[in-house]
Amino acid sequence: MKIKEILSHYTADNPGTIAKLERMFLQGRLAGSGKMVILPVDQGFEHGPARSFAPNPSGYDPFYHPQLALDAGLSAYAAPLGFIEAIARDFAGKLPLILKLNNHDVLMEENNPVSAITGSVDDALRLGCVAIGFTVYPGSEFRADMYEQIREIAEDAKSVGLAVVVWSYPRGQDLSKEGETAIDVGAYAAQIACQLGAHIAKIKLPSDYIEQDAARKVYEAQKIPIGTMAERVRHIMQAAFDGKRIVIFSGGAKAGDESVFEAARAIKEGGGFGSIIGRNVFQRPRAEALKLLDKIIEIYKS
């Protein structure tokens, strides 16, 4: 699926927004392929600096990450306000930037997470960004508040020609830990992100576990194939308006090289649009990270 066909599904958007999406598809080594690999670095806020950057101390420097993305030929770089403000003067125009507009910390144990709004659409415009990012937690007690926030923020972003990326991460007291990445819950998360007006949905790769009893009956009755990762990605894409919305899959915690490559192969085979991969990149030494990204890009290009 090439860029013109992909963007033809976004019929309600103005030329500015379409141009921003096209900019990401034309950036780096995957330019023109209809695939993208994005480097997200919001983990310093979300998990804490030592947990995020101590394995590779170069990551404490906000300039390290966009330079790595640029050198690796990635499609975009996403981060909260502070990191983007630190580097925008040097990288806006050279590398598509995505401003993450809400974040939360882990200094308080919580069963129902909710993120604080830490940036604005005006900030994204001021800093030369192509898109805003926003996290919702389907399953959280506070999910309705987050849905209403992104509705308003997305309306503002689209009106000024910015793209909207929604991190859709199911969490909450009624979801088991295994259920957070269950296939039925992951497909639901993708559908929710798309229904909220996301141009790009960011979700976790799903397991073959089914969390909801009501959903299990349908999966079994309809014989929905979920046995392989590629089949599960394909099902996620069905949930994303039958593949008419861009879905990229997060890399999660640092894993072995082959696990990362297997995930990329499954995403490609299942019709996903690419990867948004953070800790598996910036927690490795620079040379190792570049080698890993080179292989991921080759998988998507092949």
- Residues labelled as active-site residues: 202
What's the CA gap between 149 and 59, in Å, rounded?
Answer: 31
Q: Enumerate helices (H) and strands (E) in the chain, giving the number of each.
A: 14, 10
Considering only the C-alpha atoms of the chain, give the largest distance between any 2 of them, rounded to a whole number of Å.
55
Local structure of residue 227 (DSSP, 8 states): S
Nearest to 75 by CA among 128, 41, 32, 46: 32
What's the CA gap between 199 and 193, in Å, rounded?
Answer: 9
Q: Is 32 exposed, middle or buried (0-12, 13-18, 19+ CB in 10 A)?
A: exposed
- Inter-residue contact 18 to 7 (CB < 8 Å): yes
Q: Is 279 exposed, middle or buried (0-12, 13-18, 19+ CB in 10 A)?
A: buried
Site of tokens 């080759």: 298
